Chains A and B, each alone.
Chain A
């Protein structure tokens, strides 16, 4: 006797109760507080803010806890929240040249105005597990010195003075930047739209694509002109006021990649790839810059031969919230479609067997003759 499986609702509720239990884990271990995550898992928080496209550390921390540390799930939670927020306006473009810099390194110049600043980096740490961290030992205060008034111009600006590098893009003066969260994507897309999509794209996907360009799939000879991390001020134009209103500041990572020069009609000059992400993530900003440059192939008259140069391919598949949803939707029931295929395969097999049998009978008959 067949009894149809019912009770989806109760099953779902119970599954979610179990999820809550597993999320909390052993009750004798203190529950995580959001400020602990914000302070001590800051780079994870940064990634969620960056790919979730919402600059709010506390919400990102909440998402990380709720997602049990699954970053893509946390990014998804943040995205699904941000999309419901009303839009008050768009800030003026940030000026990364005026950044309050905490880290800035250039691979193209040994020294430059503003100097090289290592800042809080994993670079040159020896990757040896540190038992003292496990014991929760005290950490000494870092050394600090009064900041100097020396300006820290962007490397691209330094190179531009000699005309050695292409300028900051040539959008028309009246160009209004697009907004991928408010308008459907259409191909081919303008670079501002593309950069937005890359900035919220999956770190792993962009990393792999960027890496592929280094290994010869659309190689474009990159140098890190500079990577800088720090706080930039946000300003909003308010119609009633004659000046822009400061809203606060955000921490961003910017990468200016200096690439292969191009000659053609114009004088030879270096080209650029650009990366900018919320928070501190050099890996993402650099991968983004490599991909940005690769995606400019058509603009420079280069042959599109590799995946990283293919705008539809890269942008259509860079969003991890979309990707995880569609991959994981294969878990949903498909039995109606499967039934349709089953029916077709059964019919075709029956015809195939009939043909085989007929063929065998024919052979036997011929052999007998």
Chain B
């Protein structure tokens, strides 16, 4: 290889070509028009692997404009490696402003969490979705599941939930907990913990779901009814934690368990790093919070 880089390969602004963006925007509009319906789209290869957020990245790349402010989280955190990587990608190919603050972002791309800070009108939450089909693990064939959605035939899902109760005494689905959208489509909320399901219900923000490998886009327009499936005698419940966040003392938030030593010691901290930092800036302190002034997290590069 020559030492000098050559122009052997060049890429379009924001990576995707404009025709592709238009195709994806059409799929998004269709998704918004039919909340919860999985719209097939001609997903492209992206410069990150399938399964690593290619659907979310394509959706974000298609809707992002020069004035947008982007936040990317993975497991609720801005500093997990894949979130860092995707944020860096958009900085590189679209040169947009990025932030870690939920309230300041116009587009939030997420994997596995919804931020604790309530979303507002005008914000867009873009989910990365691995398997968009909520019925997939009950029926592996796409030809069958599409038929089931068309006929609104969701008995299989209720049987599965019932069998959970019969076997385990409770519904044993803790994440990717199926929801019904506007009383019509059963939808996979992506593998977010069921703790986050209620946040989807009538959210003022636009919620877009991109599944790159499976080539599907779906959407929840603002203020859409999103109801977690349950039974009258076994109503839907979210996870609760016995203790508050060890760093910011937050309650009623989703916590990660962090192993402290090899003697079984652990602590619980906020999964949403931005929320945790904001609270600590406001002076909230958990029982394991450091004494020194809060160390700023890495800048949102």
Contact = CB atoms under 8 A, between A and B. Distances in A.
Interface of A: 1-4, 6-12, 31-34, 58-59, 62, 65, 76, 79-87, 181-188, 312, 316, 321-322, 324-329, 332-337, 339-344, 348, 351
Contacts of B46: 80, 83
Nearest to A329: B51
Interface string B9-31: 10110011101100000000000
A336 B75 contact: yes
Interface in B244-301: 246-247, 254-258, 260, 267, 269, 271, 273, 288, 290, 295, 297-298, 301
A328 B51 contact: yes
B120 interface: no
Contact of B80 (A8, A59, A185, A342): A8
Contacts of B172: 344
B75 to A, nearest CB: 5
Contacts of A79: 45
A-B pairs with lowest CB-CB distance, top 3: A325-B50, A329-B51, A325-B49
Contacts of B256: 335-336, 339
A81 B9 contact: yes
Contacts, number: 170
Contacts of B2: 33
Interface in B182-239: 191-195, 213, 215, 239
A290 to B, nearest CB: 23
B163 interface: no
A1 B290 contact: yes
Contact of A184 (B43, B45, B111): B43
Contacts of B44: 83-84, 181
Interface stretch (B63-71, B82-90, B101-109, B152-160): B82-90
B143 interface: yes
B162 interface: no
- Which of A11, A335, A342 lies at the interface centre, i.e. has the most chain B CB atoms within 10 A of its CB? A335
Interface string B112-123: 110000000000
Given A181-B42, A337-B193, A6 B297 contact: yes
A2 B17 contact: no
B298 A9 contact: yes
A339 B81 CA distance: 19
A31 B4 CA distance: 13
